[in-house]
A and B are shown apart, each in its own frame.
Chain A
Amino acid sequence: MIIRHNSTLTSRIFQILTYTPFLFFTVFLIITPSVHAVETVRVGYFEKKPVTIINNNGQPKGLAIDILSDIAKENNWKLEYIQGSLSDSLNRLKSGKVDLMIPIGHTESRQKVIDYSDKPILQSWGCLFTKYNGSIKSLKDVSGKRIAFVKNSMFYTPFYTITEGLNLTFEFVEVSSYSKLFSGIKEGRFEGGIGDRLALAGLDQELSRIIDGSIVFHPFALHAAVVKGDPKNLLKAINNYLIKGESTPDSSYFKHLNYWLSGMSKQSDYLISALFIVLGLIIFIFIIYLLLRISSFRKALGLTEVIQPQVSTNILITAGVLSVIIWSIDILAEYFLFNKGTPFITIFISQQNPHEIFMHLLSVGTVLFGGIVISRIFARLSVAQSRAEESAENLHTTLNSIGDAVIATDTEGIITRMNSVAESLTGWKLDEAKGKALTSVFHIINAHTGKPTVNPVNQVIEKDEIIGLANHTLLISKDGTNYHISDSAAPIRSIDRTITGVVLVFRDVTEKKQLEEMMIQNEKMLSVGGLAAGMAHEINNPLAGMMQSAEVISMRLGKNKNLQANIKAAEEAGTTMEVINTFMEARNIPRMLVAINESGKRVTAIIDNMLSFARKDENQKSSHDINKLLDRTIELAASDYNMKKQYDFKQIIIQKKYARDLPMIPCEGAKIQQVLLNILRNGSQAMHKADINHPQFVIRTRFEKENKLITVEIEDNGPGMDEKIRKRVFEPFFTTKPVGEGTGLGLSVSYFIITENHDGKMSVESRKGEGTKFIISLPAEGAKP
């Protein structure tokens, strides 16, 4: 009903549809041939529910009205209703102002002036209305009470007669209408009232709970009446209708009777059934709602499968429930407020008024349609929302799948986002870092100078372009680990090209750096090797000339001094070999010759070592147990004369932490021993020189299964070395020892033996004051080369 007035479209449809029956009726009237002339019948009536009812518009309704209109149709009467009280209507009938009166009960006095229809329109009982659980329980309780009656009531006389017979005395109170009678009982102005039992049908809910109509005393019938003599001959038609109607079970008479009287006895049943219907609808909708929560069911209906799929279905359900509630409220309001007295079923399904049913359906349909429209909009919105969430999720997973570290900040350098690689490199979790300044999380310094570098966010915003960070940037993570990183920073731009933030992309290049260092190292070695090979021949020849000549000299002066050629030459020079010898000894010539020879030998050794950079001979390799090689090397070191003369190797504590059952290594045992000895010798010398109190070596071996490498770690507790020296340790001819003590080739040859000759890895870890650790990895047997 509410909706009807709101929508101009629906009201137009409504108008059109209301006209349709009129149109139909008009057409019907035109094509039906008129048998009788139309006769106007004036009907006087007073309200006596449910026989006659005056509705809100002042129009008559009710059982008698429906019956009369049926009769009027049959007889071509035109009915004019004139409303008044019982006595008004009687007077009008008597004076001929109306032709017919409804309804009227039978009394002796009335019989004299009017004629009644043979059959009553309705039969009923006189009733003593009382209050439920009031002071009147039966007829005899009336004595001493106040009993009301409606003015001119036909029940006054029969009640008076009965009570007089029972010798009951009470006070009669006259009221003007039934409603005053009932309200008086309710308010206690009188204990009871007499009237037609049918009046109960017109009671509202409250009164029907209070008023008890169980005491009946006088059966009576309600008739239609005409003035004495029936001048218009109306009664015949009425009698015919009523007689015919009573004898036919499915006659329109019975239909009217059922329709109008059902409200009286079955009123509460209808209310309950209506409530059941509403409850049933709610349960039905609830079941639909539950079904809609099952995703497969939703899919079958083609509803959206989104993050909040309930939203659209909820709206749909709400619209459904709302339409039912609106319908229910409309029905209940009509029943209890606007059309009091109309039977519930009439309001629930208004047979009399098809367009009211249509309007009900239309209003419910409008609400439902509105609900569907809104639910579709919400479905769209939730799809958009889920897409947005999906793309956020995508961005998150994409970011975390990137192999490089990514940090995003706003224009102020406050961190807004970072991926898992960035988390592990900086040592900060996203939750901790979010909202912090970039500089406090992304702590970078120049690897060479150790000074902090310029904040990349400021640089990007100043320059308004992508910048690459310096190559030698060192990232210091939360736990103090240093990473060499390569980095770029770029502005994040919104659609309108304004900078909304900065994104930093960087990667850990520490390993790459180390690899580069190693490659440089190898390059150096190889070039030294190549150089040595070319040089060796050039050096060896003059060296041979020198050393071999010196050898011949020392032989001529030493073991071969009694050669014929010697003696002959001495004689020719006028001397003897003895004299010459004495002279030579006096001038230390033999010692000088030894010096030449020894020096020459050292040159040869250097050249030989240098040449080992260029040599690679697979044929020499055999299987060795690294633990045994280590043990043998330690024994060798203990007995090494060169080491012994400087300090006692046996004083050094050696902790062997060997892994058992290691695979064998294909290698040149002597060369590996040379490497190990080099490391031990270097360490021993360093520890001795630094005067370490309890010098010790920790020697560990282990097997790295995944890459099939045997790793040896030799760690001393010596003085260690700084970064600069550590980097150059494997460089050929680099030495920290005084000239003459070391050639600077020991470790570089070792490095070369491991990396080039054995496809292994050799590195050193050291910090000033914290000892030195050499790490050698060699491929185990069966490892891929």
Chain B
Amino acid sequence: MNDLTKTILIVDDENFVRQSFSDYFEDNLFQVLQADSGEKALEILETETPDGTVVDVRMGGMDGHTFIRKASIKKPDTAYIICTGSPDYLIPKDLKKLNCVSDRLFIKPVTNMDELKEELLKIIDMLENKGKENG
């Protein structure tokens, strides 16, 4: 992943929200992948290895938690950021423990998407450095 262009996967069943994230990240020169469900996102992960994912929690079918649990096993070097519309939501403890999962929660609407981008890059950077150390 020496390429400067980062790949990001947006997992959200809300089309407009997913699209707005996608637009934002494209404008910021990310390569963006989209999935409208957890199942589809896992399918994508069969072939792709994004640097980061923005994951919604409440989705039809597989919810965000299940997706992260499964994906983080497959792709432990990918950064995961949870972004939900439920303001009283708390990140489950088991996910919080994982290095690849940001412990900062973003509530939709994300009025400052730059913050989201910074957080994502921070985690990606941290994971890359760790990968280098490990060899």
The residues of A with any CB-CB pair to B shorter than 8 Å are 533, 536-549, 551-552, 555-556, 560, 563, 565, 597, 600-601, 604, 607-608, 611, 614-615
Q: Is the CB of A604 within 8 A of B27?
A: no
The residues of B with any CB-CB pair to A shorter than 8 Å are 14-17, 19-21, 23-24, 26-28, 58, 84-88, 107-111, 113
Select from chain B the residue with minimum beta-carbon distance to A566: B27
Docked pose: A615 CA to B90 CA in angstroms: 12
Partner of B109, one of A538, A543, A556, A560: A543
Q: Is the CB of A544 within 8 A of B20?
A: yes
Partner of A555, one of B15, B24, B109: B24
Shortest beta-carbon distance, A717 to chain B, in Å?
39
Q: Is the CB of A551 within 8 A of B111?
A: yes
Docked pose: A600 CA to B21 CA in angstroms: 17
Partner of A552, one of B15, B24, B85, B87: B24
Q: Is the CB of B20 within 8 A of A549?
A: yes
Q: Is the CB of A545 within 8 A of B16?
A: yes
Shortest beta-carbon distance, A598 to chain B, in Å?
10
Residues of A near B14 (CB, < 8 A) are 541-542, 544-545
Partner of B27, one of A537, A545, A556, A600: A556
Residues of B near A600 (CB, < 8 A) are 109, 111
Looking at chain A's contact residues, the main secondary structure is helix
Q: Is the CB of B87 within 8 A of A547?
A: no
19 A-B interface contacts by CB (under 8 A): A533-B88, A536-B86, A539-B85, A540-B87, A541-B17, A544-B108, A544-B110, A545-B17, A545-B19, A546-B109, A547-B111, A548-B16, A548-B24, A548-B109, A556-B27, A601-B111, A604-B111, A614-B88, A615-B88
Q: Is the CB of B27 within 8 A of A543?
A: no
Q: Is the CB of B109 within 8 A of A537?
A: no
Partner of B113, one of A539, A551, A563: A551
Select from chain B the residue with minimum beta-carbon distance to A604: B109
Docked pose: A600 CA to B111 CA in angstroms: 9
Shortest beta-carbon distance, B117 to chain A, in Å?
11
Of B21, B87, B107, B111, chain A has the most CB atoms within 10 Å of the CB of: B87
Shortest beta-carbon distance, B84 to chain A, in Å?
8
Q: A537-B86, A604-B111 are in contact. List 14 more A-B contacts (CB 8 A).
A: A536-B86, A539-B85, A540-B108, A545-B14, A545-B15, A545-B16, A546-B109, A548-B24, A548-B108, A552-B113, A563-B27, A565-B27, A614-B88, A615-B88
Residues of B near A565 (CB, < 8 A) are 26-27
Q: Is the CB of B17 within 8 A of A544?
A: yes
Select from chain A the residue with minimum beta-carbon distance to B15: A545
Q: Is the CB of A549 within 8 A of B23?
A: yes
Select from chain B the residue with minimum beta-carbon distance to A536: B87
Docked pose: A614 CA to B25 CA in angstroms: 34
Residues of A near B86 (CB, < 8 A) are 533, 536-537, 540
Partner of B87, one of A542, A548, A560, A607: A607
Residues of A near B21 (CB, < 8 A) are 548
Docked pose: A601 CA to B111 CA in angstroms: 8
Shortest beta-carbon distance, A597 to chain B, in Å?
7
Residues of A near B24 (CB, < 8 A) are 548, 551-552, 555
Partner of A611, one of B27, B58, B88, B108: B88
A-B pairs, top 7 by smallest CB distance, nearest first, are: A545-B16, A540-B85, A548-B20, A544-B108, A544-B109, A547-B109, A537-B85
Partner of B19, one of A537, A549, A556, A607: A549
Q: Is the CB of B27 within 8 A of A544?
A: no
Partner of A545, one of B20, B58, B107, B111: B20
Shortest beta-carbon distance, A82 to chain B, in Å?
144
Docked pose: A539 CA to B19 CA in angstroms: 17
Shortest beta-carbon distance, A55 to chain B, in Å?
129
Residues of B near A533 (CB, < 8 A) are 86-88
Shortest beta-carbon distance, A544 to chain B, in Å?
4
Of B14, B107, B108, chain A has the most CB atoms within 10 Å of the CB of: B108
Q: Is the CB of B20 within 8 A of A552?
A: yes
Contact flag A548-B88 (CB < 8 Å), given A540-B107, A563-B27, A600-B109: no
Q: Is the CB of A548 within 8 A of B27?
A: no
Residues of B near A543 (CB, < 8 A) are 108-109
Residues of A near B109 (CB, < 8 A) are 540, 543-544, 546-548, 600, 604
Q: Is the CB of A541 within 8 A of B108?
A: yes
Of B26, B28, B109, B110, chain A has the most CB atoms within 10 Å of the CB of: B109
Docked pose: A556 CA to B88 CA in angstroms: 32
Shortest beta-carbon distance, A548 to chain B, in Å?
4
Select from chain A the residue with minimum beta-carbon distance to B89: A537
Residues of A near B85 (CB, < 8 A) are 536-541, 544
Contact flag A611-B20 (CB < 8 Å), given A546-B109, A548-B109: no
Residues of B near A537 (CB, < 8 A) are 58, 84-86
Shortest beta-carbon distance, B116 to chain A, in Å?
10
Contact flag A546-B16 (CB < 8 Å), given A537-B85, A597-B111, A604-B109: yes
Docked pose: A546 CA to B14 CA in angstroms: 11
Docked pose: A208 CA to B129 CA in angstroms: 155
Partner of B16, one of A540, A549, A556: A549
Residues of B near A560 (CB, < 8 A) are 27-28
Residues of A near B20 (CB, < 8 A) are 544-545, 548-549, 551-552
Residues of A near B107 (CB, < 8 A) are 540
Partner of A548, one of B17, B28, B84: B17
Shortest beta-carbon distance, B93 to chain A, in Å?
15
Shortest beta-carbon distance, A612 to chain B, in Å?
10
Select from chain A the residue with minimum beta-carbon distance to B110: A548
Shortest beta-carbon distance, A93 to chain B, in Å?
151
Docked pose: A600 CA to B119 CA in angstroms: 23
Residues of A near B15 (CB, < 8 A) are 545
Select from chain B the residue with minimum beta-carbon distance to A551: B113
Q: Is the CB of A548 within 8 A of B113?
A: yes
Docked pose: A614 CA to B86 CA in angstroms: 12
Residues of B near A563 (CB, < 8 A) are 27
Docked pose: A604 CA to B19 CA in angstroms: 20
